[in-house]
Amino acid sequence: MDCLAEWPEPVVPVESLAHLQTIPDRYVKPPEERPNCIASAGDDAADAIPVVDLALLTQERVDAAVAEAVSAACRGWGFFQAVNHGVAPELVRRFAAAWRGFFCLPAEVKQRYANSPATYEGYGSRLGVDREAALDWSDYYFLHLLPCRLKDHRKWPQLPPELSEVTEEYGAEMRRLCRRLMRALSAGLGLQEGRLAAAFGGEEEEEGACMRINFYPKCPQPELALGLSPHSDPGGLTVLFPDHHAKGLQVRRPGDGAWVTVRPLPDAFVVNVADQIQILSNARYKSVEHRVAVNAEKERMSAAYFYNPRSDVPVQPLMELVEASGGAALYRPMTFNEYRLYIRQKGPQGKSQLSELYQN
């Protein structure tokens, strides 16, 4: 399965459309998918995703209570907000300010970094390569971070001047956080703390990581559009720096399927299980659909760090979990490279990719 080297049609930055009074038809969602047609949950505590305090989750040890809290959140919701995560708020603010500076640059400067569907790396405005497909109201910048051989600073923005350095520093902190979370997730399954990391290809420079910085311009008709269509993340684990000034992320609540708007806590990250962890855990942990609503009054920016298996390692349910349950492996082996290529061709499509490609 080969990926196209070029987009099948001209790519229009969404930011260039924000001044319009009505959005182009390509961005209008079908009635049943529009955010105003699906009731979102209210603001009481029962509608909130779990909050997990990671203060006792260190590099040296996994606190049993923290592991249980992380495990419970990922079994029940697939999402949680992480507080006391150990990443300095000042670093996060410098990182966010640098990327806001990039998205404020003139269009011709940003277009120097225009991406292609071959790797998605660079500045872009669409996901998926289906000609005339419905589009989402967002621009983004996609970067490869790990393994180091894939990281190419020539594809990183040169402006603002501090962007490259602070992104490196932020990425290193995200990697450390994800490694700690992987140990907690393993312990929560009753496994050795390093078991999930080993299934990812090992911890020593072998795992994968990439980042997508999302920019959602103001939308004149937010009731008709979405910043990002419903999807589950294809990788292993996602750590999101959300926009604390404008809500937008919505999670499909397990059980009744209601859309719940995430209300970010100060200095918190939003963490979610992605498809590869669902596969390895044989669906004990479940990746959950989420989407992004847009805003008529405020633009939004967020940054998603994707922590992934080594791209060429077949991922399949861990046999100790299959045997312990006395059941069967729910998914067939597939490398992350194979799965990611399919996602890049099709774009966001709920959780259909997982059932179509993996289900035994």
Handedness of CA 346, 351, 352, 354 (dihedral sign): positive
- The tens place of each residue's pLDDT in the chain, 360 residues long, gives 456 778 888 999 999 999 999 999 999 999 988 886 544 544 455 578 999 999 999 877 889 999 999 999 999 999 999 999 999 999 999 999 999 999 999 999 999 999 998 888 999 999 877 787 889 999 999 999 999 888 999 999 999 999 999 999 999 999 999 999 999 999 999 999 999 999 998 756 679 999 999 999 999 999 999 999 999 999 999 999 999 888 999 999 988 889 999 999 999 999 999 999 999 999 999 999 999 999 999 999 999 999 999 989 899 999 999 998 778 899 989 899 888 877 766 655 556 666 665 655
The separation between CA 356 and the C-alpha centre of its own chain, rounded to angstroms, equals 20
User: d(Cα 118, Cα 6) in Å, to the nearest integer?
Assistant: 7
- The pLDDT, as a whole number, for residue 129 is 73
- The pLDDT, as a whole number, for residue 39 is 46
Q: How many CA atoms lie within 13 A of 241 on its CB side?
A: 27
- The pLDDT, as a whole number, for residue 205 is 64
* Amino acid identity at 254: P
Q: Output phi, psi for 207, to 5 deg.
A: -75, 170
- The pLDDT, as a whole number, for residue 1 is 42
Number of neighbouring beta carbons within 10 Å of residue 102: 21
Residue 191 burial (CB < 10 Å; 0-12/13-18/19+)?
buried
- The pLDDT, as a whole number, for residue 168 is 97
- The pLDDT, as a whole number, for residue 5 is 76
What's the per-residue H, E or C state across 14-32?
A: HHHHCCCCCCCHHHCCCHH
Q: What is the pTM of this model?
A: 0.93
User: d(Cα 164, Cα 183) in Å, to the nearest integer?
Assistant: 29
- The pLDDT, as a whole number, for residue 8 is 85
- The pLDDT, as a whole number, for residue 6 is 86
Beta bridge pairs of residue 306: 210, 238
Greatest distance between any 2 Cα atoms in the chain: 59
- The pLDDT, as a whole number, for residue 322 is 94
Task: Find the helix packing angle between 163-188 and 89-103, rounded to 10°.
Answer: 130
What does the chain come to in residues?
Answer: 360
Contact 219, 294 (CB under 8 A): yes
